[in-house]
Structure 1
Amino acid sequence: MASIATFLNNFFLSLLILLLHLGCFIFTTTATAKTRDNHHSPSSKKRKISPLSQPSSPSHPKFKTHKPFSTSWHFIKQLFSTKSCKNPTTAPSPQSTTTTAKTESDIGAVDTNLFFPLRNDIFPCTACGEIFQKPHLLETHQALKHAVSDLPGSDPGHNIVQIIFKSGWPESKPFPNITRVLKIHNSPKILARFEEYREAVKAKAARHGALTRRRDERCIADGNELMRFHCSTFLCDLGHNGDSSICSQQFCNVCGIIKSGFSSKLDGIATLSTSWRAHAAIPDDLEREFCFMNVKRAMLVCRVIAGRIGSDLDEAEKDDGSFDSVMARGESGVCTRLDEEELLVFNPRAVLPCFVIVYSVL
């Protein structure tokens, strides 16, 4: 009996060991087959494709969500492949975007700081485009290079100035030959002085009317502005062939008046009501005597702030400043009408030349 029991125990133990070996062999074969199938499956082939060709974003339409991984190796492999996919096409982080934006803004700020103040120091000439760094340089340039402009015959202003000039010329005298009509572009400084003088005359007339109870409405309104003529001479080719510049010769009177206005050293500036009287104020032999200097005549059409007008008999009142201009007397010693006589203006700021008529008398 003891031997039978020992035999049975050995038999069952051997059978158990055999079954255990068979189970291990079956499990290993199944795992190997599954691994081989995974290596040859289409999904594994897709994973072998270069990471650069896969979509880098989960929102891409070709991106497929994978099922939970069955083994840690699959998870690790997918993790590395995902990183390799994202690395080449990684979108810029918000921090890097902010840094780039700051860098670009800093560059723009540097450019603005370098060049924007320079624009404030640039003063271009609207006539020729030349650029200056100082406003007074621009003003000097315009006063010298663009002081006048030629009015062509088709311009309405040309015909009007011609009519005004010829209207006072007597028919018994040789009629003048007008060469050209030039418009004067007075500088802002000269214009400002003219308007300031007008305001001063208006204020003085208002005070005088309040004291004497005799209001001069014309002086209070516009300073008693008139249109007058002043004849002078010049030496250069003023306005020739469309030239808009003036010369700097000492004895070229017309250019000096256009540039700086009338001289304050004069006792009075003679302005006349007609072109003929202004022409006759300069003797005819003056041109003959100074022909070697190429002296020529020119007529200035001026705006004049006459203010309160006195006469030669009012010298005492002229000295105390009661009158702004004086009217010359006729040959009989009696003051005639203003539009027939010479008007002497005391202040040079009261006369603003507007047109130059270059002419000659045969």
Structure 2
Amino acid sequence: MIFFHAQLAVRFSRKPQLLEQHQAIKHAVTQLLDGDSGRNIVDIIFKTGWSCKEKSPEIRRILKIHNSPKILSRFEEYREFVKAKAARNSPIKRRDERCVADGNELLRFYCSTFMCDLGLDGGSCICNQQYCSVCGIIKSGFSPKMDGISTLSTSLRAHMAFPEEIEEEFKFMNVKRAMLVCRVVAGRIGGDLEEDIAKHDRGSDSVLGRGGSGIHTRVDEEELLVFNPRAVLPCFVIVYTV
């Protein structure tokens, strides 16, 4: 066993990218146990807003994500880009003060699905299944092919925004629901969804969502659509049932 680990160490020392890949897959998450102060905080953040007793969520496990250096670097570089862009405005407008300070970073929720035994019995690995969305996000970040990443202000809203029939429809594939707690660089928030999606290079980094239809369309301040996938950094995975 010692000889095996020595061989592994030599192999990784020759190819640093192999070590990074190994850590990103085999040591991607750590379960936060009962009594852990960090777990208690995430528990409180997750359950805030769930006022309906009939929809009280039951947390199965809370996992801390160990983001790879590449994903973390992309997030931090994008935040610095947003800060610098806002700082170029002279004099700095009031709406840009938060952007200059920290990129207007917010804590948001994103509901998705997974198909494996992520974090079960203390497991730290992620899987390579094509349709295991949570593992894919942990491994590579959010896809740049998405038109925008919809993040919500509360876990309840994120849960409600996710189609209920997905789990039942794909039950044969062992699809389960999970909540991602994310750091989000919102940057400058625009108000016109259609215009800013088409021309987001005009200044806005994200836009508020829209609810209703026709003349009843309204701004949904609980939903924030972020344009750049580098702006969203998942920090925790909460496996739960309702």
Give the TM-score of the pair, scaled to structure 2.
0.89
Asked if 1:333 corresponds to 2:217, the answer is yes
Q: Cα 1:174–1:349, aligned 2, differ >3 Å: closer, same or farther?
A: same
Conserved in 2, the CA contact under 8 Å of 1:270 and 1:345? Answer: yes
Higher fraction of strand? 2
1:61-117 C-alpha deviation (Å, 9 max, x unpaired): xxxxxxxxxxxxxxxxxxxxxxxxxxxxxxxxxxxxxxxxxxxxxxxxxxxxxxxxx
Q: Cα 1:177–1:217, aligned 2, differ >3 Å: closer, same or farther?
A: same
- In terms of Rg, which structure is larger? 1
Which residues in structure 2 correspond to 1:126-145 (within 5 Å)? 132-145=13-26
Q: Which residue of 2 aligns with 1:268?
A: 148
Q: Which residue of 2 aligns with 1:188?
A: 69
Asked if 1:310 corresponds to 2:194, the answer is no
Asked if 1:154 corresponds to 2:35, the answer is yes
Q: Cα 1:328–1:320, aligned 2, differ >3 Å: closer, same or farther?
A: closer
Q: Which residue of 1 aligns with 2:126?
A: 246
227, 234, 237: which one aligns with 2:117: 237
Conserved in 2, the CA contact under 8 Å of 1:223 and 1:305? Answer: yes
In structure 1, the residue corresponding to 2:118 is in which secondary structure?
coil
Conserved in 2, the CA contact under 8 Å of 1:165 and 1:275? Answer: yes
Q: Cα 1:136–1:123, aligned 2, differ >3 Å: closer, same or farther?
A: farther
Q: Which amino acid aligns with 1:167?
A: T
> 2: CA distance between counterparts of 1:259 and 1:131?
19
Q: Cα 1:352–1:320, aligned 2, differ >3 Å: closer, same or farther?
A: closer
Q: Cα 1:249–1:273, aligned 2, differ >3 Å: closer, same or farther?
A: same
Give, in angstroms, the shift of residue 326 of structure 1: 0.7
Q: Which residue of 2 aligns with 1:34?
A: none
Which residues in structure 2 correspond to 1:156-235 (within 5 Å)? 156-207=37-88, 209-210=89-90, 214-215=93-94, 216-235=96-115
Bigger mean CA deviation after superposition, 264-273 or 315-324: 315-324
Q: Cα 1:316–1:247, aligned 2, differ >3 Å: closer, same or farther?
A: closer
Q: Which amino acid aligns with 2:46?
A: F
Q: Cα 1:159–1:247, aligned 2, differ >3 Å: closer, same or farther?
A: same
Which residues in structure 2 correspond to 1:1-362 (within 5 Å)? 124=9, 132-207=13-88, 209-210=89-90, 214-215=93-94, 216-312=96-192, 315=195, 319-321=199-201, 322-331=203-212, 332-336=216-220, 338=221, 341-361=222-242
Structure 1 residue runs of 4+, over 6 Å off?
none
Q: Cα 1:303–1:124, aligned 2, differ >3 Å: closer, same or farther?
A: farther
Give, in angstroms, the shift of residue 177 of structure 1: 1.2
> 1: CA distance between counterparts of 2:74 and 2:193?
30
Higher fraction of helix? 1
> 1: CA distance between counterparts of 2:196 and 2:165?
36
Q: Which stretches in structure 2 are left out of the alignment for 5+ residues?
A: 1-6
Conserved in 2, the CA contact under 8 Å of 1:317 and 1:323? Answer: no
Conserved in 2, the CA contact under 8 Å of 1:312 and 1:329? Answer: no
Conserved in 1, the CA contact under 8 Å of 2:57 and 2:240? Answer: yes
Give, in angstroms, the shift of residue 317 of structure 1: 8.1
> 1: CA distance between counterparts of 2:195 and 2:179?
29
In structure 2, the residue corresponding to 1:342 is in which secondary structure?
strand
Conserved in 2, the CA contact under 8 Å of 1:144 and 1:247? Answer: yes
Q: Cα 1:355–1:244, aligned 2, differ >3 Å: closer, same or farther?
A: same
Conserved in 1, the CA contact under 8 Å of 2:196 and 2:204? Answer: no
Q: Which stretches in structure 1 are left out of the alignment for 5+ residues?
A: 1-121
In structure 2, the residue corresponding to 1:236 is in which secondary structure?
coil
Q: CA RMSD in A?
A: 2.0
1:253-299 C-alpha deviation (Å, 9 max, x unpaired): 00000000000000000100000110111111111111000000000
Quick one: percent identity of the two aligned structures? 66
Aligned length: 231
> 1: CA distance between counterparts of 2:169 and 2:36?
36
Conserved in 2, the CA contact under 8 Å of 1:325 and 1:346? Answer: yes
Give, in angstroms, the shift of residue 184 of structure 1: 0.1
Q: Cα 1:359–1:150, aligned 2, differ >3 Å: closer, same or farther?
A: same
Q: Which amino acid aligns with 2:154?
A: T
Conserved in 1, the CA contact under 8 Å of 2:110 and 2:150? Answer: yes
